[in-house]
Structure 1
Amino acid sequence: MKPMYADNDSKFIAVLNRKIETPKLMNALGHMTVGLMAKLPAVDKSKPLKYEFEASWADPSLISLYPFILLAAKNNNQLKTLHLRANELGVCHNAFTDSMLGSSASEQQQQTKEVETDNLTYFGIVIFGATEQLTDLTRKYSLFKG
């Protein structure tokens, strides 16, 4: 059995809607993660580490100390419930819904503001926080298998 990753006091967890096509999920995952990083009180909370390459021409990569876990939701309602719970508990999170697709950012913003929450199709939610709290929130989800 593989040992557990040592640096896991906090973690990122993305819960994705398994009914959405993978290319659309990957796009949503990128947007959700960038948005989540902007929401964090300080980027240092994610503890970015510099990974330098041997090649002098290669810019170093910044990778978080903490794990990034991909989980799958069985249905839209599970994601809506997770979104609601993350809000209630004050967990740093970022969601992506079908209203965020459109021909312009302003159109997407307007659609998102106008659509009733019950009519949204969730692509996913990314959360960041203390492992213990996130484990309680995400216990019912399985690993995303793409």
Structure 2
Amino acid sequence: MDDFLMPANLMNKPARLRLLLIGAALALSVGAAHAAGDVKRGSDVFAEQCAECHSVKEGKNKKGPSLFASLGRKSAALDGFAYSDAMKASGIVWSADRLAAYLEDPKKAVPGGKMKYDGLPDAHAREDLIAYLATLR
């Protein structure tokens, strides 16, 4: 009988180790898939939380700057948008981690910034939103 079909307490030590390693690999892959965020859900989060003030079209600013190609971009870098002095002075480059901190609490991340948004407290929604924004190139 194949070791993988036997109950764990009846398996030999190498078979139990293989099973444990397979389980760990599966758990990590599921965690990594979620950590990357879900683009479709991120699109929905954008529509619900951001679209009133931000566009995803290149060069189209609204109340807030366009979020097209925002990941990897330096803060306050788009021509034609009137950024706050605080955002201009922040020196932020929008990595996923910096964007996550900003989305969680914009007023804490950039004190004196002018974005009128209290933040997105749901970590999974932030991951999804960032995954969506990463597709905008």
Q: Report the TM-score, using the length of structure 2 for normalisation.
A: 0.31
Q: Greater RCO between the two (CA within 8 Å, min separation 6)?
A: 1
Higher Rg: 2
Greater helix percent: which structure?
2
Which one has the bigger strand percentage?
1
* TM score, norm. by length of structure 1: 0.30
